[in-house]
Amino acid sequence: MEKAKKTHRWWHWLLGLAIFYIILNFVAGAYFFNVAMVPSHKSFVHSPNQVLKKSDPLYHQKRWFKSAKKQTWHITSASGNYRLVADYLPAAHPSRKSVLIAHGFMQNKESMGAYAYLFHQLGYNVLMPDARAHGQSQGKYIGYGWPERFDERKWIDRLIQKNGQQSQIVMFGVSMGGATTMMTSGIKLPSQVKAFIEDCGYSSLQAELDYEAGNLYHIPNGVRQPIELALSGINRIKNGFFTQSASAITSLHHNHRPMLFIHGAKDTFVPTKMVYQNYAATQGPKQLWVVPKAKHASSYATAQKAYQNHIVKFLNQYVK
H or E segment at 176? Answer: helix 176-185
Q: 55-204+246-315 in CATH: which number?
A: 3.40.50.1820
What tens digit of pLDDT does each residue of 66-107 get?
999 999 999 999 988 999 999 999 999 999 999 999 999 999
Q: What is the CA radius of gyration of the chain?
A: 22
Nearest to 47 by CA among 107, 128, 136, 132: 107
Dist. CA 139–CA 142, nearest whole Å: 8
Choice among 11-25, 203-217, 302-316 with the minimum mean pLDDT: 11-25
What are the residues facing 195 on neighbouring strands? 170
pLDDT surpasses 50 at 9: yes
Question: Can you give the pLDDT at residue 41?
Answer: 74
pLDDT surpasses 60 at 5: no
Mean pLDDT value of segment 233-243: 95
Is the distance from CB of 167 to CB of 160 less than 8 angstroms? yes
Question: Can you give the pLDDT at residue 20?
Answer: 46
Dist. CA 211–CA 317, nearest whole Å: 36
Strands 83-89 and 71-76, sheet pairing? antiparallel
Domain spans of the chain, in order of start? 1-36+206-241, 55-204+246-315
Mean pLDDT value of segment 245-254: 98
Residue 319's pLDDT band (boundaries 50, 70, 90)? very high
Is the distance from CB of 48 to CB of 106 less than 8 angstroms? yes
Q: What are phi and psi of 46, to 5 degrees?
A: -65, 135
Choice among 31-40, 43-52, 149-158, 292-301 with the minimum mean pLDDT: 43-52
What tens digit of pLDDT does each residue of 134-178 get?
999 999 999 999 999 999 999 999 999 999 999 999 999 999 999
For the entire predicted model, the pTM comes to: 0.92
